[in-house]
Amino acid sequence: MTALDGTEGRFPPDVRLLDSGIHLREWTDEDLPVMVALFDEPQVARWTPLRSPFDFDAAQEYLSQSRRARAADRGMQLAITKDGGEAQGEVLLFRVADEPGVAELAYAIGARHRGERLAARAVGLMAGYARTSLRMRGLVLRIDPANAASVAVARATGFHLADDEPVTFERMGHAITLYRWRRDLVP
């Protein structure tokens, strides 16, 4: 990741962030059953690229993939919690390959925890971390306009719809059209 001063920064091996009544922390092997409960549900299947059904084997592979991405310095995936304990969702931050200094955010909130502003708070917390600790200059989200909850999160956290052409593809019998939302982080 290119910092504003031109130096190369890396995702640290262990991140714990707290603010706005939430804690973001690393996933652990003990979280695998919770991952299944959070991610094996229709809305997560509809709006994310996660495998469906999302069973224990899928959770193990997902956690392994997350650890490989971190080791390769491609991104980081953190559990969203209220107190550092049981996860209620996830927030991801990963490099945008063709745009140094810019990272993409993604998130998923378990069905039982929606409506608590967890996604907006996690995005806000990660945006602050990306700006101050990682020295990123911008963030992007990719959202289908039919995903009203994610559009609301983007607006609530200071993102604006970019001029980029949307990308359309088929997922589980549904056409998904992803529009790019952008937030500049330079002070």
Domain with 166, as residue range(s), is 17-184
Is 6 within a domain? no
Q: How many structural domains are present in the chain? A: 1
**Which residues, in sequence order, are CB contacts of 95 under 8 Å at separation 6+?**
1, 73, 74, 75, 103, 104
Tokens at residue 124, please?
């806000």
**pLDDT of the residue at 142:** 95
Is 83 within a domain? yes
Is 76 within a domain? yes
| Residue 71 to residue 13: CA distance in whole angstroms | 8
**pLDDT of the residue at 187:** 62
Give the chain's residues under pLDDT 50.
1-8
Q: What are phi and psi of 21, to 5 degrees?
A: 75, 15
Is 29 within a domain? yes
Is 85 within a domain? yes
User: Residue 87 belongs to a domain with what CATH number?
Assistant: 3.40.630.30
Is 153 within a domain? yes
Is 5 within a domain? no
The answer to whether 90 and 79 are in contact (CB under 8 A) is yes
CA distances from 45 to 24, 109, 114, 138, 166 (A): 23, 12, 15, 28, 20
Is 11 within a domain? no
